[in-house]
Amino acid sequence: MKSISEVVVRPARNVRGSVSLPGDKSISHRYAMLAGVAEGRSRLENYSTGADCASTLSCLRALGVVWERKDVANNLIEVQGSGPSLTAAGEPLNCGNSGSTIRMLSGIVAAQEFSTEMGGDESLSRRPMERVITPLTAMGAKIESQNGRPPLRISGARLKAIDYKMPVASAQVKTCLLFAGLLAEGETRIEEPLRTRDHGEVALRAFGAQVERKGNEVRIRGGQRLRGIEARVPGDLSSAAFFLCAAALFPNSQLTIPALLMNPTRARLLDILMQMGLRISVTQLEEAHGELAGALQVEGGRLKGATIAGADVAALIDEIPVLAAIAPYTATGFEVRDAGELRVKESDRIASIVTNLRAMGAEVEELEDGLKIPGGQKLHGAEIDSFGDHRIAMAFAVAALRAEGETTIHHADAAVISLPGFFGALESLSQR
């Protein structure tokens, strides 16, 4: 993303209040795509307000899917399913900044009888796509790229099922292949190296498909028909991470978050924050369409450090930036290993974190696959660059709350990618 926006964040004394989050980004993308290829109408309430999920909707419209925003206050989207056959888009699909859109939708367009071009902004044009190109090509699609990066030109085909061992732990890739497998002939089997978020499997079941899981393996039979659903998307847990980490900075903080996603493949964040000293209780647990949601009550405490490596990296991939941003304030510091994937996100997140922490006066060691950040540090306000990355913009706004002096976040409007209104919400929770 290119922008010239700036936001100034002043230090706070405490964080208190309640924040409701728009629907989870991962679930919103999947519901919209499946609603598009289902039969009948879907009503998706509390659909993510992020620009990424709007990119998915606009790509679907270009592919002939009819949808409408029904009730802006409730973020209600109504989709008329097209069934499994979509219509060729008249022009290249613009996926904006959204890796989820280009990767997951490529599984659907690869199974169509036409060609589709897909691209996006500068950051998206640097994201690796061979991870979807290789298996989709093995299924029968023809895909041209720019050295494994977008834009892609996907010539769709009658896909054949695949038996595929994924080399990279990626829920986007797994979901892409499940979507392609749904539209292919035969049974597709996907094995992931580590358990990643299971919203693809859960959403497919919600729309009526059978998906089998055994250990790290998922299977889907091609040719199953989907039917539309009525659903309310639970609040986005990765967006909540910014407010939870803000609360973690102050021993007397108090925060409540209603109707937040509690899917176990995403909730590792809550375990880690509790280990770090945050007191969290969950009430009003409810399940709908296979997804759990609950109300969170959070109280601050003494902030300890943590180590994140191995399977935890996949479980916390989107939350590591904000955990790292508060790490210098912890008593014992923070270490991240096995997280080379962070280098190919919306920005090179390891480099973005290191640059910004150093700008705030922190000591930090950059590793090829992670970071080492000593605890017990005092930071000062600084000029921060989001590098056009929404999670970096928000992570350093949180770090700024406990720094000495003001912090300016440059290219702050990157936050609209997942959470428009973030800075206003953080400000209204901050006590001075």
Q: What angle (nearest 5°) sits at the alpha carbon of residue 312, between those of residues 309 and 313?
A: 70
Residue of the chain from 55, 170, 253, 352 that contacts ligand S3P (CB under 6 A): 170
Q: What share of the chain is helix, strand, coil (3-state, %, to 5)?
A: 35, 30, 40
Strand order in the sheet with 334-336: 306-308, 334-336, 370-373, 365-367
Cα–Cα distance between 162 and 212 in angstroms, integer?
15
Nearer to ligand S3P, 341 or 389 (CB): 341
Handedness of CA 361, 345, 50, 153 (dihedral sign): positive
Q: How far is the CB of 26 from ligand S3P (least distance, A)?
A: 3
Handedness of CA 414, 123, 48, 194 (dihedral sign): negative
Nearer to ligand S3P, 14 or 100 (CB): 100
The one segment of 165-173, 370-378, 396-404, 405-413 that binds ligand S3P by CB under 6 A = 165-173
Residue of the chain from 1, 59, 166, 171 that contacts ligand S3P (CB under 6 A): 171
Taking CA atoms, 213 is separated from 168, 210, 411, in Å, by 18, 10, 42
Cα–Cα distance between 214 and 253 in angstroms, integer?
41
Nearer to ligand S3P, 180 or 303 (CB): 180
Q: How far is the CB of 237 from ligand S3P (least distance, A)?
A: 11
Q: How far is the CB of 14 from ligand S3P (least distance, A)?
A: 30
Q: Which residues are catalytic?
A: 318
Nearer to ligand S3P, 82 or 175 (CB): 175
Cα–Cα distance between 98 and 357 in angstroms, integer?
26
Q: How far is the CB of 369 from ligand S3P (least distance, A)?
A: 15
Q: How far is the CB of 307 from ligand S3P (least distance, A)?
A: 20
Q: Tell me, what DSSP letter sits at residue 406?
A: -
Hey, which residues between 95 and 124 contact ligand S3P (CB under 6 A)?
A: 100
Nearer to ligand S3P, 150 or 381 (CB): 150
Residue of the chain from 57, 63, 65, 317 that contacts ligand S3P (CB under 6 A): 317
The yes or no reply on residue 197 touching ligand S3P (CB under 6 A) is: yes
Task: Give me the residues that bind ligand S3P (CB under 6 A), please.
Answer: 26, 100, 170-172, 175, 197, 317-318, 341
